[in-house]
Chains A and B, each alone.
Chain A
Amino acid sequence: MNVKIISFIFLCCSFIFAQSPTAKEIVDRVTDVMSPVNAYSKGSQTIITSSGKERVFEFESWSAEKGKSTLTRYTKPAAIRGQAFLMLNNADDIWSYFPRTKRVRKLASHAKKQKMQGSDFTYEDMGGGDVFQKKFNSSILGEETRDGELVWKIQMLGIADQEPPYPKIVMWVRQSDYFPVVLDYYDEKDFNSKTLLLSDIKLIESFPTAMTMVMKDNKERSSTTMRNLDITYAWEPPKGFFSERNLKK
């Protein structure tokens, strides 16, 4: 009798644990995987316009509190060397610094939707943190295989009063490590305005990391490729690092 009960409990447990995670659980895991506590990176940003013209930028970036605070400073090309952006509260507050005028300007929230240095990434796209968790309701649309990997297709619908960056995002997430590989961003007319492709995924200090990210603007037919040239998650921000004082350095 006891053996039967134990067997039944085991069976129930296996059944429960074999259940697919919910959309919320997947998005929670994606947020964890995508948001290491701290990070420092050097990267490049290659913009290819609709007419095929190319511009390459290089930058350094620091982030803390799982992407809640970010500081990005451009190092190349020479014309914008030293330009820096400080984003706090998941890019809700943005300050820009222009070395030519030595002035810091606080940008209003409309600026979040501006292209960062003319790229296909907006300031808002560069902000991290728990945006997916707080500003969207998620649901699973299905399972697919992409590049030989089993993935979940997740739909995220913006919660209107949370001021989501996009009305809708569809995201494909690898089941093996909860790492997203494609994100489709939709505009108010439900047009797939931009697509983000994450590739060359490497394990850096236990965190899966996309060494290449390509943002395609499906309206303007332009694209921006961001590459991680150097990255570490072992960086610890000194006290007062994410401040106007440091922005100007």
Chain B
Amino acid sequence: MKFWGPILLLPLMLWGQAEFFGYMESEVDIMELDSQRYSFGYNKFRLDMEARPNDNVLIGANVNIQKYWGQTTWNIYDFLPGFSGLGITQNIELQDTILVDNIYMRLSFVWADLTLGRQQISPGVGYAWNPTDIFNTKSLLDPSYEQTGVSSIRLDISLGNRSTLNAVLQPGGAFNKSTKQLWLKTGLGRFDVDVTLAELQQATPASMLFGDAFDAKRTMVGGSLVGEILEYGIWIEFAHNMLDSVHDPSSGTMQPRELQYDEYVLGVDHTFDNSIYIVGEYLHNGFGTKDKSLLGLQDYLYSLSGEGRSLMQDYGFVYIMHPTFDFVSLSTLAIANFNDKSGTLAPQLDWNAFEDTNISLQGSLFWGDDDTEFGLQDWGLRLRVRSDF
């Protein structure tokens, strides 16, 4: 949905006295990778519209216009530890886009909401990772950045003040290839609990090289628990996954053999009396490997594409923030890959310079050997300015 999208939205804007809001965001990045320095960035304009023709109907949409500048053509092999500098080239180009990201209608009944269309769906309670989220991939350097829309039908049924039943269907070509997810959420004392069941067609590492014929059917059973112990916020989010087939490298085909693996996140957060806020998470991804020598091209591509939750098995994430001055906060984010012993440290300054205008400066320093996930990169610097309206 590219250029005709905004034209389609025009009647919606005019009908129902739409509200308009959005933001303009500009980003400048400088990065050193394998002793090569790159500069790049983008300008992004997002226009959101919401119309409420009556109390029971909400129509929402947004258009994103994004223009890249600087380095826009990247050799994907430059980002793959062990492949960088070998002279292999497979370029990807960042294309300027005009995209209708979300376009949906929500019908509200007494006990349920039915939302149809392309909409943002963000399940899970984890901050940096969400094992039960089968729709999105988060950027670890900016986990709270908005997610793109998912074309789907969503039903939210209220079962009381703290209990809901939610169902999402993301239609595929055939119904058995459609993505389906169901959640049941409730409150148990001071804790929120949910259980979820999902089924989807999942790309495998082999799909990265040989196409979607190498996808597998994935069934996921998971859940989460969020609450507090001794004034520390705690959460657990877990997913038990079953793939119905696996790639057999010797025959080069997918074999109907069940593969099971677990993913889980353990998290904790706390605000101290001096206003320092700290959040920490540990991710275990059973689909990743513990030994970097077992990683192949398809594994790197799988992780880079966002299909895999992570490249390897065990990760840590820490974020510390302090509102240091008036409208200025200082923070530091650290990510560690415990398996290949690489990581990144990213100090950040956020300044609410004017009402609705934020300026953020983030540096990133990487550690680890050159053939590790994070050690490949030397350093990075990001300046982002965003003004909402």
B-binding residues in A (CB < 8 A): 49-51, 53, 55-56, 77-79, 81, 88, 92-93, 98, 100-103, 105-111, 113-115, 118, 239-240, 242-245, 249
Contacts and interface: CB of A to CB of B under 8 A. Distances in A.
Nearest to A220: B326
B326 A51 contact: yes
Contact of A110 (B124, B270, B327): B270
Contacts of A93: 190
Nearest to A81: B21
B356 A98 contact: no
Contacts of B270: 108, 110
Contact of A108 (B146, B269, B275): B269
A105 B160 CA distance: 18
6 contacts: A55-B355, A105-B125, A109-B231, A111-B271, A245-B156, A249-B58
Interface of B: 21, 23, 58, 108, 110-111, 113, 120-122, 124-125, 144-147, 156, 158, 160-162, 164, 185, 190, 192, 226-228, 231-234, 269-271, 273, 275, 323, 326-327, 352, 355-356, 358, 388-389
Contacts of B185: 244
Given A98-B144, A101-B144, 9 more contacts: A79-B358, A79-B388, A100-B145, A100-B146, A102-B147, A108-B234, A109-B231, A243-B162, A249-B108
Nearest to B270: A110
Contacts of B111: 240
A81 B144 CA distance: 16
Contacts of A106: 125, 192, 226-227, 233
B231 A108 contact: yes
A240 B158 contact: yes
Contacts, number: 96
Contacts of A98: 144
Contacts of B146: 100-101
Given A100-B144, A102-B147, A110-B271, A49 B327 contact: yes
Nearest to A118: B323
Contacts of B124: 103
A65 to B, nearest CB: 12
Find the residue from B273, B326, B389 having the highest chain A CB count within 10 A.
B326
B233 A102 contact: no
A98 B108 CA distance: 20
Contacts of B108: 249
B164 A78 contact: no
Nearest to A79: B388
A114 to B, nearest CB: 6
A78 B323 contact: no
Contact of A244 (B122, B164, B231): B164
Contact of B389 (A51, A53, A78, A88): A78
Nearest to B273: A113
